[in-house]
Amino acid sequence: MMKQFHSFGWYAARIAPYLPEEAFRPVPSRLFGGLAYMLVLVSSIVTISLFDLHWLWNGLLSIVIGFCFAGLGFLGHEILHGTVVKRAWLRDLLGGIAFLPLCTGPKLWRKWHNATHHVHTQHEELDPDAWPTIKRLAQSRFLRWIYRIPFPIRAFFSFLSLAGMFTVHSLHMLLHFWKEFERGSRRAVFWQFVLPWSIWIGLLLMIGVEKWLFAFVLPLLIGNAIVMGYISTNHRLNPLVPVNDPLANSLTVIVPKWVDVLHFNFSHHTEHHLFPAMSSKYYPLVKQYIKQLWPDRYHEMPMTKALIALWKTPRLYHEQTELIEPREGYVYGTLGNGLNINDLSHKVKENVLEKMVKQK
């Protein structure tokens, strides 16, 4: 069990001297990958729009477009961290184009992801991406109703929802942060939200519903599923923490090397939280030094195992370091706090929710 926490700056200061100077510079060549994705995406949409293809061919093109949506999303994430270009207007322009398929604006993303999630990662109250605690469950009748549904059914629909969760959560974040934007910025945030949807709805009016389903809706679901496949493993097996310690609150997943190339090393999530302003091109090197310096603190596993563990464990925190299923009282550890991926056993704590509801 990890008892001592350190900030991401503490770790970064100890690794930085080992890294080459170019690791701290923007890498504009990453844009060539985005250009390739955009060419394939536009060509595929044009093909669906202009030709009356069999639904099977349209379906295959939808898969290709969906993979492009996800790939551009990963690049947009990198661009908006300032690791590809430094000029603010160009960063936002290119990041907005890359995130356009997933319908997320650059100003909202930087507020939600860069300025809030990265600063308060896995903080019980301040991280907008952190999952709720049983204390919050006790305070919400709606959540208590949801958690009366048997766990296997909830797990199934939870994974099914990954196909739309990124876009839905983006809308939720727009509403959540709206009042925190200065009045002068709200207009830009609003139009950055409206513009992508205007383009996709315009496409609908041009090509009709059937082709639009293949050109946008199905790819959006596929892109969401791929992106959320990573995001769901980034922190959801880790504990809530009092200090923003990336080795405690983040997980790096292992995927084939060719997938890392296509997804801009997005699998290296612990490394990203240590050096968010560094191009992901250098994250494999950062990973080497983390494993040399803190092998007992570092968390990594194959992505398939991480997803299986997510399926089999609940997403509700109890006392920050445990995951609890309130219906049966089953309690699981988190990474660094007793969670064994190869043996997902649990202990039982009875009447935890009932006691908290009475206290409330």
> What per-residue confidence (pLDDT) applies to 165?
95
pLDDT digits (tens, 9 = 90+) for 134-154: 888 888 888 888 888 899 999
> Is residue 259 situated within a structural domain?
yes
What residues contact 106, with CB distance under 8 A and at least 6 apart? 76, 80, 91, 92, 95, 96, 99, 192
> What per-residue confidence (pLDDT) applies to 284?
97
> Is residue 136 situated within a structural domain?
no
pLDDT digits (tens, 9 = 90+) for 52-99: 999 999 999 999 999 999 999 999 999 999 999 999 999 999 999 999
> Is residue 243 situated within a structural domain?
yes
Q: Where are the beta strands (DSSP E) in 59-163?
A: none
Q: Is the pLDDT of residue 296 over 80?
A: yes
Q: What would the mean pLDDT of 217-243 be, rounded to a whole number? A: 97
Q: Is the pLDDT of residue 189 over 60?
A: yes
Nearest Cα to Cα of residue 269 among 309, 312, 240, 229: 229
Nearest Cα to Cα of residue 352 among 313, 316, 314, 318: 318
* Tally of domains in the chain: 1
Mean pLDDT rounded to a whole number for the chain: 94
Q: Is the pLDDT of residue 279 over 80?
A: yes
- Per the structure, the complete domain to which residue 52 belongs is given by 8-131+155-302
> Is residue 328 situated within a structural domain?
no
Q: Is the pLDDT of residue 359 over 60?
A: no
pLDDT digits (tens, 9 = 90+) for 307-344: 999 999 999 999 899 999 988 889 999 999 999 998 88
CA dihedral 176, 180, 184, 189 (to 10 degrees): -30
> Is residue 199 situated within a structural domain?
yes
CA dihedral 27, 94, 268, 40 (to 10 degrees): -100
> What per-residue confidence (pLDDT) applies to 360?
55
